Structure 1
Amino acid sequence: MVGCWSGLGGGMAKPPTKAETVANALGALILKGTYKAGDWLPAERELADQYEVDRSTVRRAVRMLAEQELVVIKSGVGAQVRAGETLQRDAADVTRQVGDWRGVHVSITQSGREPFTETKVSEAVADARLARWLGVTTGAPLVERARLQGVVGDPPFQISTTWIPPETMAEFPALMQVNTGPGGIYSRFEEKGHDLMFEESVTCRLPRAHEQEVLEIEASQPVLTTWRRCYDQRERIMEVTNKIIVGERHDVIYRFGGRP
């Protein structure tokens, strides 16, 4: 006898719960524009009276809206309609220059918005972690390029820090400059004939105190952390970049298979 799994069929759909009904009603108002980006939803007590439910039902409904990425819950304050659209970055953009831009700036400009970057360049020393990522000795001199990036008019969505080892700096002393020219450092590498290859690892965690302040987020909002290494044709590590990305403001898209 052959068994059949019937988890998706054979039965009537369950009616929505009270919380789902409230979430659907509020979600429709958000999508309609009654509650606009940045607006705060009414207080729990007000919503409970409006929809004739108890406050625990309202809390469940608001959590559903947060899971649908329609609102952000701020502890002790309330629920705020998400501001702006989530930026989608094609990870492949790091491998190509479009106009004056490369990487995340390509996705921003193609969406019709204006990117911003605040850059600080300084000297640094390799700790054990950076020594491992860059293949240098602990204590080796590095150049650090720290950037805060986002879309004009919105809070920043990422902190991006690049460390450049001595061998790369000897070949590209201009990387000490804040503005490295159209396309950034990867375009400078390619201009000298380097064939670049990248590898990237991605994890997720809660933000640290200074990240909360700089990125304007709550302690409960998760961030993506990426480490990307750039190699040349000799498999020499040219630089390593660490990014702290606000998960709800930035989707990273990876493509596999077929032709680019």
Structure 2
Amino acid sequence: MLHQHLIVAMPIEAKALIPFFRLKKLTHAPAFEVYRRDNLWLTISGIGKVASAAAVAYTHMLAGHNSFSSWLNIGIAGHGHVELGDLFAAHKITDADTGHSHYPSLTFTLPCQTEEVFTVPKPVIDYPVHGLFEMEASGFYYSATRFTSNELVQCLKVVSDTHHHPIESITPAWIEQNIKNHLESIEHVLQHQKVLLEELEVAHHVPNAFEAIAQKWRFSQQQKTQLQQLLRRWHLIWGDTTSAESAISGCRNSRECLQALSDTINKQPTALD
């Protein structure tokens, strides 16, 4: 079964999502508050990147360690220079503690603009650089991409505080209403993630270019696994894997082949380019 997961930090962020998607609370999930309808799951993680990462891992286990899954983090964030209530998708996620950055792969047309997201250990009130500030995205993304392709992991953030609307003025009612304002956009992202999931399931069986490429050089078993994973990602982006052979035409060995495929995939233009 294909599973889709929503991860939010606070119950108030889930309040509009639960009735909209007709989710029911699970009674056998003691570690986190988890809701579900069919293959759609919602988990309330608690605040912070460690809590978000743990919620992803727990939900993955609860769903049966399914390798066909998409993940969407929804929450609020501060920004110094945009309109209150605007919705953004993350095109870059930077952990303020470590300086490490992640780059979500935006392979479909989004219903909103994109922005860099900074994950910070505590609320920010001065917005020192251009971007969104919140407390979960880096942990969420790091954990979710352990279990699925990064094309299937996205973050959506609603601007909740700005220079003109400080964090102290945020109310639960405001959060609920402004998540509700973007339900159609959230559903849009979920629908596109579902399409990618279905394509991935079709491509799960050995991609059609695998045998041809595997015969060109000597691949270790680990390298064969990497090759399959890269070709599945290729299929998600370009629809088939036969074109992958052109990307490796200048390669001399299996290591160069894997690097060439990885580089081509990571440089692919997003839907916004």
Q: What TM-score comes out, normalization by structure 1 length?
A: 0.24
* Larger helix fraction of residues: 2
Q: Which has the higher strand share?
A: 1
Relative CO higher for 1 or 2, CA cutoff 8 Å, sep ≥ 6?
A: 2
Q: TM-score, normalised by structure 2?
A: 0.24
Which structure has the bigger radius of gyration?
1
